[in-house]
Structure formats: structure tokens, C-alpha cells
Chains A and B, each alone.
Chain A
Amino acid sequence: MLNVRALQLTAITGSNRYRTLLKFECGLNVICAENTSGKSTALQAIVYALGLEKMWGPRVDVPLAHAMQQRIQPHRDGPFESVVQSFVELEIENHDGNRLTVRRDVAGGAERRLIRTWQTNALTGGERGPERDFFVQLGGAAQREDGFHTQLARFMGLDLPAVTRFNGADGPLYLETIFPLLFVEQKRGWSAIQGPFPTQFQIQDVARRAMEFILDLDIGRTRRELADIGHKLKALRETWSTLTTGMRSMLPPSCRLDLPAQPTAEFAHDGHIAIEAMEAAAWMPLDDVLTALRRRYAAIANEPIITTSDAAAGNESELTKSQSELEAQTVAANDVRHALRSRVEERAVLTSRINDLTIDLRRHQDAKQLRKLGSTLSKIIEDGHCPTCHQSMAAELLPVNPSAVMAIDENEDFLKSQIRLYEANLAGLERAVDAEESTLAALDEQCAKLRTRIRTLRQALTRPGQTPSQARIAEIVELDRRIGELGATQQRIDELADKLRSHAKEFAELRAREKQLSEKLFSATDREKVQTLTSLLRERLREFGFASFAIDEVSLADDNFRPVMDQKDGDDIVQREIGINISASDGARLKWAYYLALLELSTACKTNHPGLVIFDEPGQQQMKELDLGTFVRRAAAATQGDQQIIIATSQSKSFVDSALSTGAHAKVITFDGFLLQPDRQN
């Protein structure tokens, strides 16, 4: 919670000290004064003192009138005096009744990024006590211990959530993105019903994030949990890929693994790793190959070794068989080699295409950045016309161009989609190349073995008849080696399989939680809050005389809860933007209603609304006095408990008094002439 208790503006000139102290109460506070007397300066000073001026854009430096910065006069006809030093002091209170006094210098004093604080009611009679300094407008102001916004959020009892930026990184939801829902600035503040929100913080869907936070919706927490799960899933995918690559590298050429590219739920339950070995030019399950090899080994190793002449007939037929097998396998290997070569060529073409597209994309991104230079580079960039002949240069540097040219942003997106497409293509190709490479390696190994066997058989046939069969001995040795090699492979893979299974299990559990969360993003409490907000909004609109269309058609958008219009389209109800289709005065009415409804909602349910709303000049667009009166009355009634509304208006005090005549209470602050007077108090 946040309450403004007192605001003091001080501007010191060579001969005078101009000062004003405004005290505020809980409930409604109305500052009544004529135009250009300093009402807006007072309200903007609250924002400046809290270091929140960047909520109005990155370029806003000091959002205060020249009376606080350059020169000041005591009254409209008075002489101007140069401001030598000026500063703003603000006393705020939180839900626990703790006070905090802050001071920020404007001109001639300390660095503007410094905020001095005292944990006392220094402006309303208390002692200053020990001082603690904080910084604003520097990196870390909302995250570091010495950052003022870290301190302010803590003081207000807010736990700022982490949100995703455009670059995918996480950062805090800055206070500057929340305050546009509490403070309606006089000029741009009335231009949008919600916000306008600052965009320089690069926060994705900033309006939605700010609203979710203010309404304290479960959906915000759910989304953060989802993001957290997303990070964990990514890490698991990476570990999985490292492990499987490691497993593949320890395989002999005659073996291959069939593993999913990503951890799957199926693998978590039935984590069987299929290892295949090449046997007779075909991939067979390793278990079958091992069993066959062991059976053959048992059959021949335990028998006495036969002589060359006894083995001759068998050797001859084996020789013929091996020769034809070698021929077949050489042909098969050549086929694979051929296919592989064309795929490798295709891969080279794709890689070079992706490289070209990446260069092109970079040039577009550069071109986009360079456009920021505007006329520093060339007037063409600013207005799109040739500086000499003034003809349109929309076709960029293309020669005679019959059709329209993509705009840079569109072209950038187009290139990105092209790159994505080609990369997907390349990934598929890589997989095919990997598979073919392992098949080819296995086939080559088989061919080499067959050649060795043929050589052995030939030599065996020419040896003396009574010597032990060389072919048989060679077969026994080879069988022994292969059984050893395949057995060891099997064992090593089995050892790693457990690790993979546990990863897959964790992956499956996270995926299940992810699915469960994404199905129920909105909780029942969330729905109730949004419904209550909608009905509060409609009630207020009715009260304020909104007439642009039927009030029951006003609802809240599904994405960021801004007011929209429900319209029938056939049998469906579609949400349409409220924009130029309403009158300007109804735009202001909608803004009053929306901001008051947000405040009132915090009385009905638990929200993160700090209980403070500030309206600068709500009487926009020659608003009917009757409706403005209703607004003031409603604002007085809307504030419950410690809540506070501050309004600055150029309406007279008598107007405010008559609006409040029904018994609603408000503190009315008035002053004649300028707000800043040589040492005066209100």
C-alpha cells in the first residue's frame, strides 16, 4: 500500500526561497486551482520524487515545469528570478503505518540519480533521523539493495515478479510499468484507456504483465512456473543430447543405436535402447547377433580342429558364398556411398543458402538500425523521397520494379522464416547423413572382413592336407573378438541407459506439469476477479453517463484486460477495440470508470493495487459538469480504509464543494496565483 502524506517543493533563487508544502489525507484529495498555476507540477513532482518519471518514456528527464528548473516569478506580472537550487521532498506511508520521507534534487544540488531518504515523518513535524541514500535510473535500481525501487517496492509490500523481455531473458516487472495504472498524466495519460505503458524496458506483453500483477492473478504465477519448467526442459534436452552423442561415439562401426532425439515419456516407461549390429548387409538386433555368434562359437570351439583336407569341401563352398556376398555388399556400399555423396552436396548447398540468408538478414537488421539516424544519413530515409527529383524511393535500389517491395520489418520476418525453413530442412538432412554414414561404415567393415575371410579360405585350400584347418582357427579367433567387442558395447550402453531413463522420467513429469498448467491458466479466483472488475466498470460507466454504446457491451479483453466492446458477429460474440468509435468525453469517462474500478476491486478481493490513484485534470474534453461532479462524488466514496485518490482540477472550489454536498468527505486544497510562493503553507 502507498499513501502520499505530504509534498514539499522548494526553489531557491538569489534573493528568495520559494516553497510550498501540500498535506494529503486518506480518502479523496482535490487540488483546485487555475490553469498554469502549478497543479500538474505538484502531481508530477510526486512521480519525480519516487524516481518513476521513465514511466512516461525513455527521454523524459525532469518532468517538472521551468519554475522548478530555470526561472520563477512570484505572480503572473512579477519579475522572473533565476532558480539556483531546487528540490522535491515527499512523505509517504505504507500499510504498516511506517513513514518514509524522500528528497530528490532538481537543479543545482546533488546528482539527480540520488534519492535521500529518512524513515520518519520529516515533512509533517517529525525529526529527520539517520539518512540513507539510494540510486535511481541506473541498472539495478529495482534489484540491488541500494536501488531506490528495490526499497520502494519493499516499503509498499510488493514482490515484483520476474517477467520475460523481448530477448528472452528474465527481468523484474519495473515499478514504472505499474504506475501508469495509478497515475493519469494530464496530456498523454488520457490518450489511452489503459496506460500508456513504457516500452523501453523491452518487457514482452507489458500491459498484460502489469495488469496481472495489479490484479494479483494466479495466471501470472502459473506463467512464471511455466517459464521455469521451460528452462528446466531445455537443460534436460541439452544433457540428453550430450549423453546420446557420447554413447554413439563409443560404438564400433558395425553397430548403431536407435534413440529418440529428445527425451520422451515413452522412453521413461519402457527405456529400452535398441542397439543394432550389421550382419550380412542388414541391421539386426544386437542380442540376436550375439546369440548367433555365441552359438556358432560354442559349436566349433569345443570340437577338435579338423584338418585342411577334411575342411576342403566346406571351405570351397564357403569361399564361393563369401565371394558372392562380398560382391553384393560392395554394390550395397556403393549405393549408400552414392546417396550419401548427393546428400552431402545438398547439405553444402543448404548451408551456403543459410549463410547467404543470414548475411541478408543481418543487412536488414543493420538497415533498420540505420534508419534511426534519419536525416543525419539522408533525407530519403526520413521521407522516402529522392533528394534531387523528389520521386518516391519506396522501391529501394531495385531497377524498374513492377511490384511492391517488402518493408524492412516485413522483409526481416520473411528472411527469418526462410532461415527457419532451411534450418529445419538441414536438420533432417543431417539425420539422414548420419544414418547413411553409419550404414556405410558398417558395410565397409563387413566388406573388409569378408575379404580377409576369402583370403584365409584361399590360403587354407592350398595348405598340406594333414595340417589343422587355418580357416577354422581364424574363424574361432574372429568369433571370439567380435563376441568380446559386442558384449562390451552392450554393457557400456546398459550402464548409461539408467541415467537416460531417469532424465526421461524427469522430462515426462515436467511435461505433464506443463500440460496441466497450460490447460488451466486462469484459476476460479482469477475469473471471479475479472468478473467483479467488469461489473464494477459497468456500474461506474452507468453512473458517469457513458453513452457511446450499450454499457452491457463493455467487457474486458481476454489478453490484457483492457476495456473492449462485445459485439455479435453471426452467432459468435467477438471483442472489438474501443478506439475512435467512442466520443472523446466518453473516452475520459471510461478511463475514470476503469481506474476507479481497479481501486474498488482491491476492497472486494485481494489484489496488489497500492490503493493510490492520481488523476491530473479529469475534466477533459469540456466534460459536462454534472458528470464531473458525479465522478468527484464517486471518487470520494470509492476510497475505503487507507486508500487515497488525488485529483487536480481547474474547476473552482465551489464546484467541488457542491459536488460533495451530499456528505462525501474530501480534503480540498486551493491556492491563488502560483503554487510556489516565497515560503507559504497549505
Chain B
Amino acid sequence: MPDELGDTASVSFRVRPVSVPGELRISWRLAVVVLMLEGCRKQRASLVKLHVLNDAVRSPDSAQQLRRVLRDELAPSFWRTRVEPAFGRALDLAVGSGLVSWIHTTLGAGLELTTKGKEAVAAIRKLDGVLVHEKTVLAELSLKLSEQRAASLTSPKAVVRA
């Protein structure tokens, strides 16, 4: 510290808030979770499938990538599922909020849309111009991606077979 500031001088710092990626906003994430399940058969899905869908909804490019894999235009090895910790937290919060509930599927733990979750989906559908990209992508991919396919995309064998 330079002497001329004297003993009484002090430097203060203010903590500035940081920017948060949009997909880490709770309201956005919870809405996407219920939209994912709404598109699935019987409105239920395994965690494995949900992680693949979560990855697909990440960007228009990744959605296109999954689309091409599902159409067999691209080898499954081109698909790398990322397990995102924030998505796990979002699922916990969705369960805590009563939107979804835990179930057991052939691929292990899974989630199912509750009545409250269905009401939330209806409310989200009513909002025009909100989650436009996500609504279209999930409506298409949630149904096309079967549980078996999701499992094969995430198991190491998928890479070996390709």
C-alpha cells in the first residue's frame, strides 16, 4: 500500500453477482424436466433416458446429432452422453416440488409425471413463445428415443459395436 494513503485508508471490494447460464435457472430446468417426461410413453422414463434427452436439448446442434443417430445416419459412437450434475439436482428439486415421483424401471431408477406435474405441463403449454425450441425438440425426441436405445447409447458396448 503506498504511504501517501496514510493509515486510515482502506480498500473495499464488493462482490459482484456472476452470470448464470440459462439452463441452470431452476424455473427453466423444472419446466424442461416436466416437458421431457410429458413426451415419453406413459409419461415415465428411466434416469438413463432422461440424461440422454437432457443432453439433446442442450443446443440445436446436439438435438440434430441425436436425431441423426436415431435415424441411423450416424454411428452411435458419435453420440457422447454427458452426465450433468446440475440436471441431477434439478430432478431432486422436481421430486421435492411434487412434479415427478421416483419409480422403478427395467433400466433402474426412473421418474414419472405426477398429477401436479401434468398441471404444470398444461400451464407451460399455455405460455406462448416460451420454450419454443425445447417444446418441439422434446415432443419429437422423447417418443423416438426408446429406453433400449437410450441404454445402448450410454453403454460402452455401443462404442465397440460401431
Q: Do A414 and B19 form a contact, CB below 8 Å, given A359-B59, A363-B28, A381-B27?
A: yes
Q: Mark A365-407, 1 if CB is under 8 A from B, else 0.
A: 0110111110011111100001110000100111101011111
Contacts of A396 in B (CB 8 A): 20, 24-26
Task: Tell which of A367, A381, A410 touches B22, judged by Cβ atoms closer than 8 Å.
Answer: A367
Report how far A407 CA is from B25 CA in the complex, Å: 10
A452 nearest CB across to chain B (Å)? 46
Contacts of B82 in A (CB 8 A): none
Contacts of B24 in A (CB 8 A): 396-398
Report how far A396 CA is from B23 CA in the complex, Å: 10
Report how far A250 CA is from B53 CA in the complex, Å: 50
Say yes or no for B89: interface residue by CB 8 A criterion. Answer: yes
Are A370 and B97 in contact (CB-based, < 8 A)? no
Q: Do A403 and B18 form a contact, CB below 8 Å, given A366-B131, A376-B120, A387-B93?
A: yes
Interface residues of B in 22-48 (CB under 8 A from A): 22-31, 34
Say yes or no for B90: interface residue by CB 8 A criterion. Answer: yes
Report how far A405 CA is from B18 CA in the complex, Å: 5
Report how far A366 CA is from B120 CA in the complex, Å: 15
Interface residues of A in 338-372 (CB under 8 A from B): 356, 359-364, 366-367, 369-372
Q: Mark B1-25, 1 if CB is under 8 A from A, else 0.
A: 0000000000000011111111111
B15, B20, B94, B97 — most chain A CB neighbours (10 Å): B20
Task: Tell which of B19, B27, B89, B134 touches A377, judged by Cβ atoms closer than 8 Å.
Answer: B27
B82 nearest CB across to chain A (Å)? 15
Contacts of A405 in B (CB 8 A): 17-18, 20
Q: Do A378 and B20 form a contact, CB below 8 Å, given A370-B31, A370-B130?
A: no
Interface residues of A in 279-310 (CB under 8 A from B): none
Give the number of chain B interface residues (Cβ < 8 Å).
Answer: 41
Q: Do A404 and B127 form a contact, CB below 8 Å, given A361-B22, A387-B97, A397-B25?
A: no
Report how far A396 CA is from B90 CA in the complex, Å: 9
Say yes or no for B124: interface residue by CB 8 A criterion. Answer: yes
Q: Mark B39-81, 1 if CB is under 8 A from A, else 0.
A: 0000000000000000000011000000000000000000000
Find the A residue at minimum CB distance from B87. A397
Are B18 and A406 in contact (CB-based, < 8 A)? yes
Find the A residue at minimum CB distance from B59. A359
Contacts of B131 in A (CB 8 A): 366, 370
Report how far A405 CA is from B60 CA in the complex, Å: 26
Say yes or no for A427: interface residue by CB 8 A criterion. Answer: no
Are A376 and B96 in contact (CB-based, < 8 A)? no
Say yes or no for A158: interface residue by CB 8 A criterion. Answer: no
Find the B residue at minimum CB distance from A414. B19
Contacts of A398 in B (CB 8 A): 20, 24, 86
Report how far A367 CA is from B23 CA in the complex, Å: 9
Say yes or no for A199: interface residue by CB 8 A criterion. Answer: no
Are B20 and A370 in contact (CB-based, < 8 A)? no
Report how far A258 CA is from B78 CA in the complex, Å: 48
Say yes or no for B160: interface residue by CB 8 A criterion. Answer: no
B138 nearest CB across to chain A (Å)? 13
Report how far A399 CA is from B17 CA in the complex, Å: 15
Q: Do A380 and B123 form a contact, CB below 8 Å, given A359-B59, A397-B89?
A: no
Report how far A356 CA is from B21 CA in the complex, Å: 10
Report how far A363 CA is from B59 CA in the complex, Å: 11
Are A360 and B21 in contact (CB-based, < 8 A)? yes
Find the B residue at minimum CB distance from A388. B96
Report how far A578 CA is from B65 CA in the complex, Å: 59
Task: Tell which of A356, A370, A403 touches B16, judged by Cβ atoms closer than 8 Å.
Answer: A403
Are A370 and B17 in contact (CB-based, < 8 A)? no
Interface residues of B in 98-128 (CB under 8 A from A): 98-99, 119-120, 123-124, 127
Are B18 and A376 in contact (CB-based, < 8 A)? no
B99 nearest CB across to chain A (Å)? 7
Are B130 and A377 in contact (CB-based, < 8 A)? no
B84 nearest CB across to chain A (Å)? 9
A364, A378, A387 — most chain B CB neighbours (10 Å): A378
Contacts of A401 in B (CB 8 A): 18
Say yes or no for A273: interface residue by CB 8 A criterion. Answer: no
Are B19 and A366 in contact (CB-based, < 8 A)? no
Say yes or no for A70: interface residue by CB 8 A criterion. Answer: no
Are A380 and B93 in contact (CB-based, < 8 A)? yes
B65 nearest CB across to chain A (Å)? 16
Are B27 and A371 in contact (CB-based, < 8 A)? yes
Say yes or no for B156: interface residue by CB 8 A criterion. Answer: no
Contacts of A387 in B (CB 8 A): 93, 96-98
Interface residues of A in 538-596 (CB under 8 A from B): none
Q: Mark A583-613, 1 if CB is under 8 A from B, else 0.
A: 0000000000000000000000000000000
Are B28 and A367 in contact (CB-based, < 8 A)? yes
Interface residues of A in 179-237 (CB under 8 A from B): none
Are A406 and B20 in contact (CB-based, < 8 A)? yes
Find the B residue at minimum CB distance from A407. B17
Report how far A386 CA is from B133 CA in the complex, Å: 28
A360, A377, A401 — most chain B CB neighbours (10 Å): A377
B139 nearest CB across to chain A (Å)? 16
Task: Tell which of B22, B85, B90, B130 touches A359, judged by Cβ atoms closer than 8 Å.
Answer: B22
Task: Tell which of B15, B29, B85, B119 touches A404, judged by Cβ atoms closer than 8 Å.
Answer: B15
Are A362 and B22 in contact (CB-based, < 8 A)? yes
Contacts of A360 in B (CB 8 A): 21-22
Are B25 and A406 in contact (CB-based, < 8 A)? no
A364, A367, A386, A406 — most chain B CB neighbours (10 Å): A367
Find the B residue at minimum CB distance from A361. B22
Are A378 and B19 in contact (CB-based, < 8 A)? no
Are B16 and A386 in contact (CB-based, < 8 A)? no
Contacts of B124 in A (CB 8 A): 370, 373, 377
A339 nearest CB across to chain B (Å)? 29
Contacts of A369 in B (CB 8 A): 127, 129-130
Are B26 and A397 in contact (CB-based, < 8 A)? yes
Are A367 and B25 in contact (CB-based, < 8 A)? yes
Q: Do A366 and B28 form a contact, CB below 8 Å, given A359-B22, A373-B124, A378-B97?
A: yes
Contacts of A377 in B (CB 8 A): 27, 30-31, 34, 97, 99, 120, 123-124
Contacts of B30 in A (CB 8 A): 370, 377-378, 380-381
Report how far A386 CA is from B92 CA in the complex, Å: 10
Report how far A372 CA is from B133 CA in the complex, Å: 20
Pairs A–B under 8 Å by Cβ, sample size 19: A359-B59, A359-B60, A364-B22, A366-B22, A369-B129, A370-B27, A373-B127, A376-B123, A378-B27, A378-B30, A378-B93, A379-B97, A387-B97, A388-B92, A396-B20, A396-B25, A403-B18, A404-B17, A406-B17
| A-B contacts besides A363-B25, A397-B29, A411-B19, 8 pairs, CB < 8 Å | A359-B59, A370-B28, A376-B120, A380-B97, A396-B24, A403-B16, A408-B25, A411-B20
Across the A-B interface, give the 5 residue pairs with the lowest CB-CB distance, nearest first. A363-B22, A378-B97, A367-B25, A387-B96, A367-B28
